[in-house]
Each structure stands twice: as structure tokens, then as C-alpha cells.
Amino acid sequence: MLLGCDYRALNKRRNKMRIYDLALKDLSQILRDKKSLLFLVAMPIVFTLFMGFAYTSGGDENVDMRIPLAVVGGSDSRLGEMLVERLETSDAVRVVRIDQAAALESLQKGDVAGVLIIPVGFGDQSEGAALSDQSKGSPLSQLELIADASSSQGQSLYQLLRGPVSQLMSAEQVARISADLQNDPDEFSPALELAWAKWDENSRLELVRVEQAVAAEPESDWTGGNPYNQASPGIIVQFAIFGLTTSAQILVQERKSRTLQRLMTTAMKPWEIVAGHLLAMFTLTFLQTALLVVFGQLALGVDYLREPLGTLLISVALGLWVASMGLLIGVIAKADDQVILFSMIAMFLFSALGGTWFPLEASGGAFAAIGRLMPSAWAMNGLQNLLIRGLGLEATLLPTAILLAYATGFFLLAVWRFRKMEL
């Protein structure tokens, strides 16, 4: 009886050694390729820095979002100055005063969205015409707007200019009528100023006043004050999926070189072969994740170590899910190009839908609803609970459990397909 127990214990140790040996063989085969280090280490770091910079640039509050409008002329007449001064106070239009040749060149280059040409002496005849020729059209008809009518900015400029131009036209007509009624040409200028001031006052009034019953909370930065709180975990998840390309290719190469067939004729059982490859894939993914976590902590100020156990749980669960998915791809694919194709599809699908490029809260609708079902979204959720939301270890337990459930599902599919695989 004692000899039987010793034999079973020895057999278990041998099984473990076979699994470890197969995993070490896979790892040494991967790490011998210098290109693998480029994809597993250098590229994730470069992409992390790039994405963090992109988030920082996107959140710059000093960027002027107003539509640029080049204005030509207008400084030699009172009506022109009044119109330009009103446009310069606009929250939607940014006035650029330049000459006509430079304005048209800027429009062609796309530096401005439109060109407003105010002719020389614009409106000078208005005061003289107040008591004489009423049949002439308004001097405001002399204005010329050059813009692309098919572009959104060109259409917006047209709508934005209609208000001030219509008000100036109204003020000019009121001043004419006032001067005519009093039979005094000198009344035109003060009447024009008064009417224009009233239009300016009315345009600043709120048509609807909204009173807030609940005090508004100050807007918080969705990155938690550090853009790399989104970029770093996003790249960790994305490149964990991308890294399985190299691991899955080994299984395909073993099948093509008939190494896998020879392994099946040895004392190794099928589950030991699967476990050995799975261990190699998990180790590779986990080491890559650990390296990027250390880089994020030390170089980017991403506080993964605020809750080290929570970060470890998510990293282990992420590694198991990705390794199981890589094993399934390696079993299904029949050639190296299929491994790359399936891996790229998985990376883009799970990365885009899982919120690794941008928060799912920013998308909403069906996209966010579907995205929250993705395992990559749960990995991001677990890490962001620690980094952005400031939660504790308990906030990583549910994401970890769901990732492990996905890992189990992919692993069972891989084992089932492995048994039916034609060697």
C-alpha cells in the first residue's frame, strides 16, 4: 500500500515536470526571437506614451474651438467697425483681420472657414441718404461672405452672421426713420448708436432662465488627474491580446513540423500537452503585464501599487483569459497567417468594444451595452476601479471572477477542439 502511494506521488511529480518542461521550451523558443521582444515590450510602451499624449492634447482647455473667420476691411466706416466689434465678442466666431489676398489664401489652405469682405466706405452713404433717396437698398447688401456652402463650418458661419447683420440692418433703418421724422440728418448717428446698443443688450439676455434646484457638483477629470490612468491599463489589455500571436504560432508550428504528433506518442497525456502550452502563454502574458505595470507605476505615475493585491488579481485573471483564448486560436488555426488574422480580429474586437481606447461611458447606447459584456471591459473596469475611482480590493473581485469565467469557457473550448483536431 505504501509503495502504491509513493508511485502515485512520483507520477504526479513527473507529470508536473513534463508540463514545466514543455512550458519552458515554448518560452525559450519565443524569447530567442528578438522581434518578439519588440512586440511584447517596446511597442506597448511606445503606444502607452502616444495614447497618454493624445488624451492630454484632447483635454487642453486653452484650445480655441471657435470658427475662424477672416474679415477684410471695415475699419474705415462706423457701420463696419460696429459689425466687427460684435463678431469679436462672439463665443462661436474667431475674427482674423487680414487683407483680401491673404484671407483668400488662408481660406484655400483651410486656416479659416470663411472670408467676410466689407467694402471701403461701407455704410458711409447711409447718413446722407437718410433724408434723400429712400429707394436705394440697404448698404448692408454690399457685404460678401466667401465660404464653402457644402461644409458644416461654412453653413455655421452663414447662420452665425445672419443675426448680427440683421440687427445692424434693423438699427440702420431705425436711424434713417428717426432722422427723417425729425428732419435732422445729425440725428442719424445717435439713433444708430442707441438702436445698436439696444440690440446688443437684447442679444445678451437669456431667453430662458434655468434655476438649478440641486447644487451642481464640480466637474471631475475622467482620467483621475492623470491621462495615463486610461492609456496604461488600456494598452496592457490590448497588447496582452496582441501578444498571444507569438504563443499561438508555436502550436501551429508544432503541428506542421509533426512535433505535436510525436508528443502525443510519448508518455505525456493530451491534457498535459494543453496545460504546458497554456502555462507558457500565461507566463508570457503575465510577465508582459507585470512589466507594463512597473513602467506605469515608476515612469507614468499610475498608482497600481495603491492596491497591489487588486492589481495582482486582475493581472492573473487577464493572463488566464488571454492564454486560454490564445490556446483556442492555436488549436483552430491551420497556418501562421490564420493565427495573425484571428489574433488581430480578437485584438481589435475586444479592444474597441472593451473600452481600452476610450471610456465606455463616453459612447453610450448599444455600443456601451455590448461593450460591457466583453471580458476586456471587465479587465478595464477592475483596473479603473483602483486607478480612477479610488475603490479598494473588493471592487476587483467581480471583474476577476468574470474574467476567470471567460478563461474557463475559452479553455474548455480549446480542449474540446484539441481532442477533435486532426494531427
Would 118 be classed as within a structural domain?
A: yes
Q: How many structural domains does the chain have? A: 2
Mean pLDDT (the chain) is 78
Q: What is the DSSP letter of 39?
A: I
pLDDT band (50, 70, 90) for residue 280: confident
For 349-365, b/e burial (b = at least 16 CB within 10 A) is ebbbbbbbbebbeeeee
94 and 31, same structural domain? no
Q: How much is the pTM? A: 0.61
409 and 276, same structural domain? yes
CA distances from 190 to 87, 124, 176, 179 (A): 21, 15, 11, 10
Q: What is the pLDDT of residues 374-419, one digit of tens each?
A: 999 999 999 999 998 888 999 999 999 999 999 999 999 988 888 7
Helix (H) or strand (E) holding 116: strand 114-117
Q: Which residue has the higher pLDDT, 22 or 347?
A: 347
Would 271 be classed as within a structural domain?
A: yes
Q: Which residue has the higher pLDDT, 136 or 353?
A: 353
Q: Which of 204, 237, 263 is the last residue of a domain?
A: 204
89 and 123, same structural domain? yes
Would 339 be classed as within a structural domain?
A: yes
157 and 135, same structural domain? yes
Q: What is the pLDDT of residues 237-251, one digit of tens each?
A: 998 888 777 777 777
Rounded mean pLDDT of 216-236? 72
Q: Residue 236 and residue 292: Cα distance in Å, rounded?
A: 7
323 and 189, same structural domain? no
Structural domain boundaries enclosing 397: 25-54+228-419
98 and 35, same structural domain? no
Would 13 be classed as within a structural domain?
A: no
Q: Which of 204, 220, 241 is the last residue of a domain?
A: 204
Would 223 be classed as within a structural domain?
A: no
199 and 111, same structural domain? yes
Q: Which of 171, 204, 237 is the last residue of a domain?
A: 204
Q: Residue 170 and residue 168: Cα distance in Å, rounded?
A: 5
Would 5 be classed as within a structural domain?
A: no
Across 216-225, 236-245, 319-328, least confident range: 216-225
End-to-end CA distance of the chain: 40
- Inform me whether the pLDDT recorded for 85 exceeds 60: yes
Would 19 be classed as within a structural domain?
A: no
Q: What is the pLDDT of residues 99-118, one digit of tens each?
A: 888 989 988 888 888 898 88
Q: What is the pLDDT of residues 150-191, one digit of tens each?
A: 777 888 888 888 888 888 787 778 777 877 777 777 777 787
pLDDT of residue 219: 47
197 and 251, same structural domain? no
Q: What are 272's three cell numbers?
A: 498535459
390 and 272, same structural domain? yes
177 and 45, same structural domain? no
Would 146 be classed as within a structural domain?
A: yes
341 and 284, same structural domain? yes
266 and 244, same structural domain? yes
Cβ neighbors of 357 (< 8 A, separation 6 or more) are 51, 234, 238, 351
Q: Residue 228 and residue 222: Cα distance in Å, rounded?
A: 11
CATH (domain of 140):
3.40.190
Q: Residue 173 and residue 165: Cα distance in Å, rounded?
A: 12
